[in-house]
A and B are shown apart, each in its own frame.
Chain A
Amino acid sequence: MNQPIRLTVNGELVTAAVAPRQHLADFLRETLGLTGTHIGCEHGVCGACSVRLDGAVVRGCLVYAVQADGARVDTIEGVSDSGEIADLQAAFATRNALQCGYCTPGMLLAAQELLLVNAAPDRETIRDRLSGNYCRCTGYHAIVDAVEATARARAEAKR
């Protein structure tokens, strides 16, 4: 039976009735039309469905929408529109750190969380913290470059 939920998605209050089995990524994509959250495996391995739930990046396929009742959810559309990761997105573009773009929303959210936790990660740390996000196209080198460049630019800007 569908259950009512209320949550805040990208700053907007959303109410809906959801089937308990519907995971958050499907809810965002199918009910709200937020298709920037992608689905790659639906068993928690690939990271394409990453979203922020109450500020922490989680796998959208491993959280059911009913569990997000009362929560705050941020998707790639939200953090793009707010400008929060504009510099990171620009660094990805400059470095061509994406090809097909399917992993990119999840990769960006994971990278942003890394930079919030660790402002000056070395390349090995970047690779470690992104190790749960699958990219089949780039070979990762360019992604590491883009994250490293963003960290450096943010440190410069603070100085």
Chain B
Amino acid sequence: MSEGLSPLDRPNSYIGRAVPRPNLARLLQGRGLYVSDMTLPRMVHVAFVRSPYAHARIAGIDAGAARTAPGVVAVVTGAELAEVCTPWVGVLTHMKGLKSAPQHAIAVDRACWVGEAVAAVVATTRAEAEDAAALVEVSYEELPVVADMEAALAPDAPAIHPDLGDNLAFERKLDAGDVEAAFASADAVAQAEFVFGRHTGVTLEARAMLADWNPGEQRLTVYQGTQAPHMMQNIIAKHLGLEETQVRVVCKDVGGSFGVKVHVYADEMATAALARMLRRPVKYVADRVESFLTDIHARDHRCKGRIAVNRQGDILAFEIDDLTAIGPYSMYPRTSAIEANQVVNLVGGPYKTPNYRARARVAFTNRNVMCQYRAVGHPIACSVTEGLVDLAAREIGMDPVEIRRRNLLPDDSYPAQSASGMKFEALSHHAALDKLVAMMNYPALRAEQTDLRAKGIYRGVGLASFIEVTNPSAAFYGVGGARISSQDGASVRLDAQGAVVCHASVTEQGQGTEAILAQVVASAVGATLDKVRIILGDTDHTPYGGGTWASRAAGIGGEAAWRAGVALRENILKVAGVMLQADPSALDITEGQVIDATGQARVGLDEIARVVYFRPDTLPADFQAELIATRHYAPKAYPFAFTNGVQASWLEVDIKTGFIRLLGHWVVEDCGRILNPQLVDEQIRGGVVQGLGAALFEKCEYDARAQMLNANMADYLVPMASETPDIQIGHIETPTADSMLGAKGAGEAGTAGAAAAVVNAVNDALSPFGVRLAEIPLTPELVLKALGVVL
């Protein structure tokens, strides 16, 4: 048996099977443990006094009445908190030119968005803390408000941070090939301005932290629903003046994250600092209004795009000019320039076109902070690219499938590189498109469309090919100086009854990490799945690693677990070789039994454990068993393991009301080796629906004074069961050779392309009217205006 044996070839492999997740039974019975469920002795609750103004100087704070209110333990201002928690600046050295200003856990002298905390009230119950927060009198002096991205960059705009000179946080330009010549030689040029609403993650469990400073141990234990425990350990220690060994971050069940819970939030830093100040456990659970006002927002781009094409349907060039606004601070530590940077990286990515010019600008405004949310930059890049491709097809009268077939990178052209310099190991655009066309029965839908049009019913098909960044190496953050690990570790040991316990640094957010690791470890060791236990989310116990973000848990964390499992199997077989007086290389493990070359079971893992742990005296004196193995993994051959896929939407537009009804959605995706097909499918479905939300519903509405108008669940619309179609999924498998498992990420592909497919389908449905919509969310009002039905 060789270490290089494909996991699929191993006997009793669980790889590629839809095994049930070990944590489901608990969650189904309401027996999960989320941070919001936790209580500790002497625990107190914090509520924050938040700025009602988008930009205001804090002239004074009178907390007298609040301090004497029932149940109040402390009222803490920004200046007081700054004595125990230092400010931070959200920049990275590899994002050249990115600037931001120091941000405090609680605003010290100036509030820069509606909802920024200006004081903390700690009380014995959350209700009492809220009561007292209403009694804190803050004197504000309003300052000029920079309400939107265009205004932010106007020549006479007031700089939100005068020290920075202006409101341009970041700018990137790229020019590849010969764009001028390409446009000059084009038979047709199409252009549009693509507008993307500002939206947010809306995790069903709000952000929550329970921080417990133990003066006796001089240690802070932080229970947090987070995607990146070790990153939080580092940041909390750094800004509270502690060693990392003094901070333990524990992550139990997390009620949804989607990128929302991978950032450093001012109010959570304040919670940790308050625990240290007050020397007792402090709990913060954001209420839903706080979530809307302070959870990161995302997207909010205006992107002008142009495409050049010849009569034969060859795409000659792409050009974009993208503008976004990120709020008053670049988020820490990942920065808020990443989304715009990704747009530049990804536009045109599926296509062989070498000519590409791009500019992206990132502005400061007095709205809530923005940062990375599921599929960072991808939905914008995909909507712009695929929108332009459809416009080009329309210009030259070519079918949308045909123009993609002509221009997508050929499946036999890898390794390849995009115009923007993205390196592709191996993709499968054409196989995916062929499979999609067959799955959805594209010709039949076209026939149905034609028949129904004659009856005044307008249905449309929209396609969107995409690429997705997964398994990021240190190129994402590490090279820029952030202590965000791009490697992950797993430690696998044999227990005394022959069970296998795996501690790993990636985390579970509901996507199924525990199941993936369990099946990887079981397969690698040769144990049965029911004997594997996975332990995650505790910086005191797990190996060091990055956690869950950028579709990396399975591809990177899974690979570490595989390698650790393989190493443990070898260690076990050494013991077995001694016990059986056989050559370990002639033995293998399957279903918890060591077998010989004939497949005969020779000894069980339970027996090996018994001998090693309780009768080591029976083993040779010069032999020491090691029934634990730890391995780490970081991708090395490529900066990112790109995946690819294609989506299609089938929908009906009611031309009288502007309402859009989603009838069907298809996705074909290639995430490399599929470890668990059910979990991949459900990641894609969930991701698609978040993209459908962006396409049709979700938008943080702001007025001219930068007040958010719909900061509640009734007014911020997300798609619910009745608005969502069934979603059919197909796969192509092109494993990455950068790892033994060959798995790439799958968590964001659904979100990457869903909105693009919907917008293309709406434009297809309304093509008899010459309508070209390029703004999302596509509200009924936008549709009716485009149709000229209402002005």
Cβ of A103 within 8 Å of any chain B Cβ, yes or no, is yes
Taking A38-B255, A80-B29 as contacts, is the C-beta distance between A99 and B690 under 8 angstroms? no
When C-beta atoms are compared, the residue in chain A nearest to B685 turns out to be: A139
A40 touches B714 (CB 8 A): no
List, in ascending order, chain B residues with CB within 8 A of A101's CB: 23-24, 27-28, 32, 253, 255, 510
Cβ of B656 within 8 Å of any chain A Cβ, yes or no, is no
A92 touches B28 (CB 8 A): yes
Total inter-chain residue pairs, C-beta < 8 Å: 170
Q: Which of A63-71, A120-128, A150-158 makes up part of the contact surface?
A: A120-128
List, in ascending order, chain B residues with CB within 8 A of A45's CB: 712-714
Cβ of B36 within 8 Å of any chain A Cβ, yes or no, is yes
Complex A-B: 6 CB contacts under 8 Å: A35-B37, A98-B27, A99-B511, A100-B27, A131-B722, A142-B685
CB distance from A45 to the nearest CB of B (A): 4
Please provide the 7 A-B residue pairs with the shortest distance between their CB atoms, ordered closest to farther.
A36-B30, A101-B27, A100-B510, A99-B510, A102-B255, A76-B30, A139-B689
Q: How far is the CA of A144 from the CA of B618 in the complex (A)?
A: 57
Of the candidates A37, A43, A92, A139, the one whose C-beta lies within 8 Å of that of B724 is A139
List, in ascending order, chain B residues with CB within 8 A of A140's CB: 689, 720-721, 724
B679 touches A40 (CB 8 A): no
Cβ of B435 within 8 Å of any chain A Cβ, yes or no, is no
Of the candidates A75, A94, A127, A144, the one whose C-beta lies within 8 Å of that of B30 is A75
CB distance from A21 to the nearest CB of B (A): 7
Cβ of B318 within 8 Å of any chain A Cβ, yes or no, is no
Of the candidates B20, B33, B255, B713, the one whose C-beta lies within 8 Å of that of A93 is B20
List, in ascending order, chain A residues with CB within 8 A of B509's CB: 99-100
List, in ascending order, chain B residues with CB within 8 A of A39's CB: 36
Taking A76-B30, A108-B28 as contacts, is the C-beta distance between A134 and B718 under 8 angstroms? yes
Q: Which of B493-548 contact A (CB under 8 A)?
A: 509-512
Cβ of A113 within 8 Å of any chain B Cβ, yes or no, is no
Q: Which of B1-50 contact A (CB under 8 A)?
A: 18, 20-21, 23-25, 27-34, 36-37
Q: How far is the CA of A75 from the CA of B417 in the complex (A)?
A: 55
Cβ of B727 within 8 Å of any chain A Cβ, yes or no, is yes
Taking A101-B28, A127-B721 as contacts, is the C-beta distance between A136 and B685 under 8 angstroms? no
List, in ascending order, chain A residues with CB within 8 A of B34's CB: 35, 38, 102
B287 touches A42 (CB 8 A): yes
A141 touches B29 (CB 8 A): no
A43 touches B30 (CB 8 A): no
Select the residue from B28, B31, B253, B688 with max chain A CB neighbours within 10 A: B28
Interface size in chain B (residues, C-beta < 8 A): 55
Select the residue from B25, B204, B685, B724 with max chain A CB neighbours within 10 A: B204
List, in ascending order, chain B residues with CB within 8 A of A138's CB: 682, 685-686, 689
When C-beta atoms are compared, the residue in chain B nearest to A77 turns out to be: B30
Q: Which of A29-87 contact B (CB under 8 A)?
A: 29, 34-43, 45-46, 48, 75-77, 80
CB distance from A27 to the nearest CB of B (A): 12
Q: How far is the CA of A105 from the CA of B28 in the complex (A)?
A: 7
List, in ascending order, chain A residues with CB within 8 A of B687's CB: 139
A102 touches B727 (CB 8 A): no
Query: Footprint of A on B, CB under 8 Å?
Result: 18, 20-21, 23-25, 27-34, 36-37, 127, 201-206, 253-258, 287-288, 509-512, 678-679, 682, 685-690, 712-714, 718, 720-722, 724, 726-727, 750
Taking A98-B24, A138-B686 as contacts, is the C-beta distance between A133 and B512 under 8 angstroms? no
List, in ascending order, chain B residues with CB within 8 A of A24's CB: none
Taking A38-B205, A98-B28, A126-B721 as contacts, is the C-beta distance between A43 and B686 under 8 angstroms? no
CB distance from A134 to the nearest CB of B (A): 6
CB distance from B127 to the nearest CB of A (A): 7
Q: How far is the CA of A128 from the CA of B25 in the complex (A)?
A: 26
A133 touches B721 (CB 8 A): yes
List, in ascending order, chain B residues with CB within 8 A of A131's CB: 720-722
B31 touches A100 (CB 8 A): no
When C-beta atoms are compared, the residue in chain A nearest to B255 turns out to be: A102
List, in ascending order, chain B residues with CB within 8 A of A128's CB: 721-722
List, in ascending order, chain A residues with CB within 8 A of B511's CB: 99
In the complex, given contacts A43-B714, A136-B201, A140-B724, what are 5 additional A-B residue pairs having Cβ atoms less than 8 angstroms apart?
A: A35-B34, A96-B21, A101-B255, A103-B204, A128-B721
CB distance from B551 to the nearest CB of A (A): 15
Taking A134-B720, A139-B727 as contacts, is the C-beta distance between A77 and B255 under 8 angstroms? no
CB distance from B19 to the nearest CB of A (A): 10
A89 touches B28 (CB 8 A): yes
List, in ascending order, chain B residues with CB within 8 A of A123's CB: 726
List, in ascending order, chain B residues with CB within 8 A of A38's CB: 34, 36, 204-205, 255
